[in-house]
Amino acid sequence: MHKAVIIGGSAGSFRVITRILHALPKNFPLPVLLNLHRLKHVRSGFVEALSIKSNIPVIEPYDKESIKAGTAYLAPSNYHMYIELNKKIALSTEEAVNHSRPSIDLSFETAAHTYQRNLLGIILSGANKDGARGLKKIKDSGGTAIVQDPKECEVATMTEAALKMTQVDHVFSTQQIIDYLLKIK
Partner 1 sequence: MSKQEIGIVDTRNVLKAIKETHDLDFKNHALTFFKRRLEHIMEKYSLRDAEVLTDKIKNDKDFFEQFLKEMAIETTELFRDPSLWRYLKDKFFPSVLKGPGSYKIWFPEASSGEELYSVAILLNELGLLDKVQLVAGSISRLRLDGIKQGRLDVNKMEVNHANFKRIFNEAELEDYYTQRGETGYIKPDLLENTEFTLQNTYYDKPPRNVKLIMWRNQMLYFNQILQERLLKAFCHTMVPGGHMIIGMNEKIDYWNSGKDYILVGDNENVYKKRFS
Active-site positions read 10, 37, 130
Of the listed pieces 4-12, 26-34, 49-57, 85-93, which binds partner 1 according to CB under 8 A? 85-93
The least CB distance from residue 120 to partner 1, in Å, is 22
The least CB distance from residue 36 to partner 1, in Å, is 16
92, 116, 173, 175: residue in contact with partner 1 (rule CB under 8 A): 92
Query: Which residue type does 168 have?
Result: V
Residue 81: HSE in the Cβ half-sphere, 13 Å Cα cutoff: 29
3-state secondary structure the chain: CCCEEEEEECCCCHHHHHHHHHHCCCCCCCCEEEEECCCCCCCCCHHHHHHHCCCCCEECCCCCCECCCCCEEECCCCCEEEECCCCEEEEECCCCECCECCCHHHHHHHHHHHHHHHEEEEECCCCCCCCHHHHHHHHHCCCEEEEECHHHCCCCHHHHHHHHHCCCCEEECHHHHHHHHHCCC
Residues 8/107, Cβ–Cβ less than 8 Å = yes
Q: Give helix 104-115 / helix 132-140 axis angle, nearest 10°.
A: 10
Q: Does 22 bind partner 1 (CB under 8 A)?
A: no
Q: Does 6 bind partner 1 (CB under 8 A)?
A: no
Of the listed pieces 35-43, 118-126, 150-158, 167-175, which binds partner 1 according to CB under 8 A? 35-43
Residue 102-131 contact track with partner 1, rule CB under 8 A, x = bound: --------x---------------------
26, 27, 40, 151: residue in contact with partner 1 (rule CB under 8 A): 40
Q: Does 165 bind partner 1 (CB under 8 A)?
A: no
Of the listed pieces 9-17, 28-36, 81-89, 177-185, which binds partner 1 according to CB under 8 A? 81-89
Size of the site for partner 1 (CB under 8 A): 22
1, 26, 48, 85: residue in contact with partner 1 (rule CB under 8 A): 85
**Positions that interact with partner 1 (CB under 8 A):** 40-41, 43, 60-64, 76, 78-79, 82, 84-85, 90-95, 101, 110
